[in-house]
């Protein structure tokens, strides 16, 4: 058994007895595991990090466009005659369709279409729709296009998480999920820089700054479809860039943990335990409370910074620091969560930091701009890094290997529901008051996330102590 799994699980003697009776891949030394991982990493991680960065750029650029060149009356809202309330409704519509189509998307990929082809179709589709935003004329057009973005983007992230379960052992997934997830924070920083540059193209060639923003980012996404078509892998057993010996090893090392790809349909019990089992519902709820804060910041960080007294153009640049700092912290904490088998503790600790930061911001005077900006940075460094450990936890502790894809999609689909709350707590009319509602709700949600994460950890300690089987009746070490 891998050393990473021994932390907090030394008491699972019965599990170890069962595993000792099974053929394992322990005969292969650590160097061989590392060599294969590195080869897979070089193929998967840069590609998926880039795709997810584009995913978040094309999802969140509407937040940058919202205030871009506001002083000259050329912002996105001004150009299409939208109110702040209609903007929130637009984000809500996206969230609804994003939530509804995540599980069906993973189901299609699991049963009917090769992962590389399905992801290529999704990225091409939302890229085309993003380009369409550059030419939208009214609120009805915005709603229609935003609906399509939600539909096509829904399957990308859970699909990439699901694909990683085909390639990596449980204790190897957290840092790799974090690397891809952290691309969303990188996208926030990158998006702010791009928007800052687009502000200076305002009214060039007859286009406003926000039109250039959608046009350029959408075109990049469409072009990157070719990367998925030619370079995205599907399954270890069929890939051509591994040798026959490596393919066999890649498959065996996952089979030891009952992991890897399977097209077999799940049993009724496996589906019920995954969709409505109390433990999994607590997982989804924990992620939900964290993502309320996360999604609110995705769409309103430029608005929040603008409310701190910066111009619309300066605000784009000032959004870089919170996202960039969060990117670094997310990678460090994800590595620690895997290394110490401490996903619950890491997520809880980060959430406490986030809650304290938003509590501090809510107690500061509205005109304490510098201190409130510092609280925003600290808050982002708490809420963003919690996402990867929570997501990895679900993929490793799904009730059955046959339902990992559903579990990941369900977990991520709650982000759509959370967005509906997140986009309404940061209200533009509260800017002069320091956004009290947004800070208080974010504070409360962060502390609730911490409590739920600790409850889940205790739950898994008890499950390991009692040698609890998974939904297929197989022994498991439940990760903490």
pLDDT tens-digit readout, 347-394: 999 999 999 999 999 999 988 888 988 999 999 999 988 888 898 899
The pair of structure tokens assigned to 127 is: 């890229």
Kindly tell me if the per-residue pLDDT of 27 is higher than 50: no
pLDDT in tens, 163-192: 777 788 877 877 787 778 777 777 777 788
Using the predicted structure, report yes or no on whether residue 314 has a pLDDT greater than 50: yes
Best CA proximity match to 316, nearest among 235, 210, 230, 219: 210
> What gap in Å lies between CA 321 and CA 373, rounded to an integer?
10
Highest mean pLDDT among 84-88, 232-236, 426-430 belongs to 84-88
Start-to-end CA span in the chain (Å): 15
Confidence check: pLDDT of 54 > 60: yes
User: Which pLDDT score, from 0 to 100, does residue 264 have?
Assistant: 66
Q: Distance between CA 211 and CA 20 in Å, rounded?
A: 61
pLDDT (tens digit per residue) in 225-237 = 988 888 888 888 8
Give 9's Cβ-side CA count (13 Å radius): 25
pLDDT: which is higher, 258 or 466? 466
CB atoms within 10 A of CB 201: 16
Spatial distance between the Cα atoms of 355 and 349, rounded to a whole number of angstroms: 10
User: Structural domain boundaries of the chain?
Assistant: 29-237+244-255+267-465
Computed over every residue of the chain, the mean pLDDT equals: 84
Alpha helices for 307-368 (secondary structure H): 312-318, 320-339, 343-363
Distance CA 468, CA 474 (A): 9
Euclidean distance between CA atoms 388 and 448, whole angstroms: 17
Using alpha carbons, list the distances in angstroms from residue 295 to 118, 230, 398: 25, 32, 24
Share of the chain above pLDDT 70, in %: 91
* Residue 477, pLDDT above cutoff 90: no
Digit-coded pLDDT (tens) for 249-285? 888 888 776 655 555 677 889 999 999 999 999 999 9
If you write DSSP's letter for every residue of 226-282 in order, what string do you get? Answer: HHHHHH----TTT-SSS-HHHHHHHHHHHHTTT-S---PPPPHHHHHHHHH-HHHHH
E strand or H helix that includes residue 188: helix 170-199
Question: What CA–CA distance (Å, rounded) separates 402 from 420?
Answer: 30
* Residue at token pair 């800070």: 439
Q: Which helix (H) or strand (E) holds 133?
A: helix 115-133
Q: What is the pLDDT of residues 112-165, one digit of tens each?
A: 888 888 899 999 999 999 999 999 999 999 999 999 999 899 888 777 877 777
The CA-based dihedral angle spanning residues 255, 261, 267, 269, taken in that order and rounded to the nearest 10 degrees: 70
Residues 213 and 195 sit within 8 Å (Cβ to Cβ): yes
pLDDT above 50 for 25: no
pLDDT value for 216: 94
For residues 390 and 264, the answer to whether their CB atoms sit within 8 Å is no
3-state secondary structure at position 207: strand
What fold does the segment set 29-237+244-255+267-465 form as a domain? Growth Hormone; Chain: A; (1.20.1250)
């Amino acid at each position: 058994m891998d050393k990473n799994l021994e932390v907090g699980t030394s008491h699972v003697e019965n599990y170890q007895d069962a595993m000792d009776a099974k053929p394992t891949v322990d005969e292969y030394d650590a160097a061989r595991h590392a060599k294969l991982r590195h080869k897979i990493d070089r193929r998967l991680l840069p590609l998926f990090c880039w795709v997810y960065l584009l995913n978040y750029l094309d999802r969140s650029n509407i937040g940058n466009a919202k205030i871009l060149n506001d002083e000259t009356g050329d912002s996105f809202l001004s150009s299409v005659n939208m109110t702040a309330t209609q903007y929130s409704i637009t984000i809500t519509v996206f969230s609804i369709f994003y939530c509804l189509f995540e599980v069906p998307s993973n189901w299609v990929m699991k049963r009917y279409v090769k992962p590389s082809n399905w992801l290529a179709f999704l990225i091409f589709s939302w890229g085309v729709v993003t380009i369409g935003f550059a030419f939208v004329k009214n609120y009805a057009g915005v709603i229609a296009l935003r609906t399509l973005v939600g539909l096509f983007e829904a399957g990308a992230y859970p699909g990439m998480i699901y694909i990683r379960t085909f390639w990596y052992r449980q204790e190897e997934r957290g840092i790799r999920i974090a690397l891809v997830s952290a691309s969303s924070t990188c996208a926030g920083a990158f998006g702010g820089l791009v928007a800052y540059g687009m502000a200076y193209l305002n009214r060039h060639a007859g286009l406003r700054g926000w039109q250039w923003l959608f046009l350029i980012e959408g075109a990049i996404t469409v072009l990157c479809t070719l990367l998925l078509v030619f370079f995205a892998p599907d399954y270890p057993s069929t890939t051509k860039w591994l040798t026959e010996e490596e393919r066999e090893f890649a498959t065996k090392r996952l089979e030891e943990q009952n992991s890897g790809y399977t097209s077999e349909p799940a049993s009724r019990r496996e589906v019920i335990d995954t969709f409505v089992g109390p433990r999994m519902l607590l997982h989804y709820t924990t992620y939900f409370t964290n993502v309320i804060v996360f999604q609110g910041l995705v769409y309103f960080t430029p608005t929040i910074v603008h409310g701190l007294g910066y111009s619309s153009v300066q605000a784009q640049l000032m959004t870089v620091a919170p996202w960039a700092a969060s990117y670094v912290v997310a990678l460090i904490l994800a590595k620690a969560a895997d290394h110490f088998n401490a996903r619950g503790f890491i997520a809880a600790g980060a959430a406490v930091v986030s809650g304290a930061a938003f509590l501090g911001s809510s107690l500061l005077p509205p005109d304490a701009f510098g201190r409130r900006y510092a609280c925003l940075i600290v808050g982002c460094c708490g809420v963003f890094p919690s996402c990867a450990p929570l997501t990895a936890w679900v993929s490793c502790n799904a009730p059955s290997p046959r339902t990992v894809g559903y579990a990941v999609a369900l977990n991520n689909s709650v982000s759509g529901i959370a967005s509906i709350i997140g986009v309404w707590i940061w209200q533009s009319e509260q800017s002069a008051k320091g956004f009290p509602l947004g800070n208080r709700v974010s504070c409360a949600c962060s502390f609730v996330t911490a409590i739920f994460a600790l409850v889940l950890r205790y739950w898994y300690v008890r499950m390991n102590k009692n040698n609890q089987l998974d939904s297929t009746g197989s022994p498991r070490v439940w990760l903490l």
